[in-house]
Structure 1
Amino acid sequence: MGYLDLNAAYAQTPPLDAFTGHAAARGEVAEFSPLEWTTILMSRRDGLSSLGTPGRFARFLGRLFGIDHKPRLADARLEALRRFAVLSWVHGYNVPKSEFGVFKAAGYSMSQAETLLASVAITRADRGR
């Protein structure tokens, strides 16, 4: 009488990401620290204009009318996260490929990008109801 050893089959499959359901790569962490989640949530108020640097005319008008431009974050890693989050709040899943490269170069994984995009999509859907 034979049997099927399911323990060996389950040991070979990678774990699934909680938000996307895709298989996470070995060693990739799809979590964010509380500071990173705060950065993601605070970036909801930022517009696309916060991603670029203001030109000379914009700085002149800012000084003339007392309008402050949003400075970049001091931590380059958090700034990359903020940029990616702003683009995902505005465009949803249509974030430019170049930003994925910047996001990954800052030390984040693709699993974290998927987690951020799914979280933003869920929040946007809840706000639309």
Structure 2
Amino acid sequence: MAYLAFAETCAGAADRVLTLPKADTVPARLSALEWSVVALARNDRLSSLREPGRISMAMGTLFGGFRNPRLADPQLEALRRIAVLSWHHGYTVPSREVKAFIAAGYTPDQYELVVDSVEADRLHREERLSA
């Protein structure tokens, strides 16, 4: 049976321990305007994510009632798209939409914050309706 002196082996290893920089502990946040976009997206349909066609635009012009829910600010529009998808599909948002959301200037933590808050609200509503 072999003997290994762990105390001697580990003593030299303490000098070689890699120290990692501290991670940002700043929690993900959204502004009041961004939260209002998430709340308004609850009423938007999935069809609002598609580009309206010429016939749809013509019918809206003829008969009225055409409402363009898209936002002029590209960053807020990316947030609206993620929120609409989250309201309708929960955590199963297509990866291309998440990539577009992050490319718009948001962080993965902000994405998780939006989806988690939407899911929490959905569960709360279901509990109230079933009670």
* TM range, smaller chain: 0.7 to 0.9
Q: How many residues align?
A: 108
Q: Distance in 1 between matches of 2:126 and 2:108?
A: 27
TM-score (norm 1): 0.76
Unaligned runs of 5+ in 1: 1-11, 15-24
Task: Say which structure, 1 or 2, has more relative contact order (CA 8 Å, 6+ apart).
Answer: 1
Which structure 1 residue ranges, 4+ long, deviate > 4 Å from structure 2? none
Q: Indicate the RMSD between aligned Cα atoms, in angstroms.
A: 2.0
Unaligned runs of 5+ in 2: 1-19
Give the secondary-structure state (helix, strand or coil) at the position aligned to 1:94: coil
Cα contact 1:44–1:85 (8 A) shared by 2:
yes
TM-score (norm 2): 0.75
Give the secondary-structure state (helix, strand or coil) at the position aligned to 2:42: helix
Deviation at 1:29, TM superposition (A): 4.6
Q: Distance in 1 between matches of 2:73 and 2:102?
A: 15
1:63 counterpart (46, 61, 64) = 61
User: Which entry has the higher C-alpha Rg, 1 or 2?
Assistant: 2
**What amino acid is the match of 2:57?**
R
The structure with the greater share of residues assigned to helix is 2
Deviation at 1:62, TM superposition (A): 1.1
Q: Deviations over 1:9-31 (max 9, x none)?
A: xxx796xxxxxxxxxx5376511
